[in-house]
Amino acid sequence: MAATHSMLQERIQVAQELLKRVDQLCARQVRDVEGRAKLCSKLRAELKFLTKVEAGKVLIKESHLQSTNLTHLKAIVESAESLEMVVSVLHVFAYEDAGGTKQTLVVDVVANGGHTWVKAIGRKAEALHNIWQGRGQYGDKSVVEQAEDFLQASRQQPVQYSNPHIIFAFYNGVSSPMADRLREIGISVRGDIVAVNLVMAEEEGSEEEEGEGANKEGMERCYEEEEREGKAAEDEEDVENFVEEEDDAEDVEHTRVDRDTIVASLAFPTGVKVDVCRRANLDITTLITYVSSLSHGHCRLAFKEQVLTEQAAQERQDKVLPRLQEFMAGKELYACQSAVNDFRVILDTLGGPGEKARADELLRRLRVVPDQPSERTQRLTASSKVNPRSLMIFGTGDTLRAVTMTANSGFVRAAANQGVRYSVFIHQPRALTEGKEWRATPI
C-alpha cells in the first residue's frame, strides 16, 4: 500500500511539473504554441483523475499507475522540448485515405515551422511489437499502420511545396524489426531500438500487460464527469489505448522483445534536413514594408495619423527589416506585374526620395513575371478579402511554387476558409512615411 501511495504521489508531481514545462516551452519558442491549451487540459484531466485516486474516490490497481495516460503526455512534452520552431501540439489534420474517405489524424508535435511532424509513443516495446504481430486486441492498429496514415496525410499537407518529415519518437523502446520497417517506408525513428528473440513460450495474460490499460474504465468515468462540468479534455480519442492480453494458455513460437539488449539509441536533436523553398514572391505590402522609412530607422516619431504612430511603436519593439532580409537571403526573388504596377503607383503618390531610391534598388533585384494565377486560385470565390489583385499576386506565387511574402493575413485566412492554403511568410506591415515625417513629433 505504501508503494502504491508513493507511486501515486510521484505521478501527481510529474503531472504538475509537466504543466509548468508546457508554459516554459511557449516562452522558449518566443511564440504561442497552438494546441497548448488542449495539452494543458489533458494534463489537468489526468491530474484530477490521480487526485481522485488519492482521495479514494476511484479504485485502481498498483500496476495501472505504471502506465497512465501521463506516459504519452510526458512523451509529447519531451518531444516538443527537443525541437526548434514548434508551431503546434496535438494538431488535427484532415486528409483522405487511399479509398477517398475523409479522415483525421492527430500529430503530437509540429516543429521546424511545420516541416516536421512527430508522433510521441510512450507504450512499451513489448506491447507495440505484439500488436504489430497480430496479438493485440481486435481493432488495434499497429504503429506501422499508423505510420502509413501519417505518410498519406503528409502528402496532402505540403509545407513550402514539400511534404512534412515524419518522426516516430519511442520513449519506452521499439523492437528492431519494427524500427527497420518504419525506416523502410520513410519514417525517422528516435528512441531505444531493442533486440528480439525467437522463443517457445506459453501465452499468458500478465499483470504488467494488464497495467498497460491504465485503468481505462476509471479514466472514462473521470472524463465523463469532466464533460458534465464542461471541463473535459478535447479529442479523448488520441489518448493511448493499451493492450490487455487474453489469458489463453497455449504454446506458441513467437518473437519476444529483449529490453536489456539495446541495438541502438537514437536521440534528439533530430538533425532533420528540411527542404526549404528557394523562391520568394513579394506582394505589394512586402515591397512597401521593405523600402519604408519606418523600417530604416525613422521610427522614433509620433505621427498625426494614429495607424502610423502604432506602426512606429511596433517597429521600435520589433524591427521588421532584419526578418525580411533573413528570409530573402539566398532565394530567387519574384514579383508579378500587377504587384509591381500598383507598387509604383503608391510609391509615386506617397513615397519620399529615400523610399523611392530604395524601391529602385529592390526592383533591380527582382525578377518581374507576368500575372499567372494557379488553377486552384482561379476557383476561389471573390469577397471583400479575396479581391482580384490578391488573386493575381498569390496565384502567381502558387504557379511559381514560391513562398509569398505578405502582410495581408486577411487574404490568407479567407483563402484557407475556402480550402486553398498558400505557402506564405507573414510579417508586420509598414507604410510609406517619409513624406509625413516633417509634421511628426520626435519621441
Where are the chain's structural domains? Answer: 2-266, 279-442
Q: How big, in percent rounded to 5, are the helix, strand and coil portions of the chain?
A: 45, 20, 30
Query: Looking up cell 487540459, which residue turns up?
Result: 41
Contact in structure between 372 and 396 (CB atoms under 8 Å): yes
- Quote the radius of gyration of the chain (alpha carbons, Å): 27
Contact in structure between 208 and 123 (CB atoms under 8 Å): no
What is residue 3's predicted lDDT score, i.e. its pLDDT?
Answer: 59
DSSP state of 159: B
297 — phi, psi (to 5°)? 95, -10
pLDDT in tens, 249-307: 333 445 666 666 776 777 654 455 667 789 999 999 999 999 999 999 999 999 999 99
CA distance 48 to 70: 12
Residue 114, Ramachandran bin (φ over 0: left; ψ between -120 and 50: alpha; else beta): left
What is residue 27's predicted lDDT score, i.e. its pLDDT?
Answer: 66
CA distance 146 to 68: 21
Contact in structure between 156 and 421 (CB atoms under 8 Å): no
DSSP state of 204: -
Q: Which residues, listed in sequence order, are joined to residue 117 by a DSSP beta bridge?
A: 110, 166
pLDDT in tens, 228-251: 344 333 333 333 333 333 333 333
Query: Looking up cell 480519442, which residue turns up?
Result: 237
Helices 409-417, 388-400: inter-axial angle, 10-degree rounding:
80
CA distance 393 to 282: 8
CATH for 279-442 (3.40.50.1010, 1.10.10.10, 3.40.50.300, 3.40.50.11060): 3.40.50.1010
CA distance 164 to 273: 11
203 — phi, psi (to 5°)? -70, 120
Per-position DSSP letters for 278-304, written without gaps between them: -EEEE-HHHHHHHH-SGGGT--SEE-S
Query: Looking up cell 512597401, which residue turns up?
Result: 288
* Cβ neighbours of residue 318 closer than 8 Å, sequence gap 6 or more: 428
Helices 216-229, 36-54: inter-axial angle, 10-degree rounding:
110
pTM over 0.75: no
pLDDT in tens, 46-94: 888 888 877 777 676 665 565 568 888 998 999 898 888 899 999 999 8
For the chain (443 residues), the mean pLDDT of every run of 10, in chain order, is 72 89 72 86 88 75 64 90 89 90 94 92 88 82 95 91 92 91 94 74 41 42 41 36 34 57 65 76 98 97 96 96 96 97 97 97 97 96 94 97 96 91 94 96 93
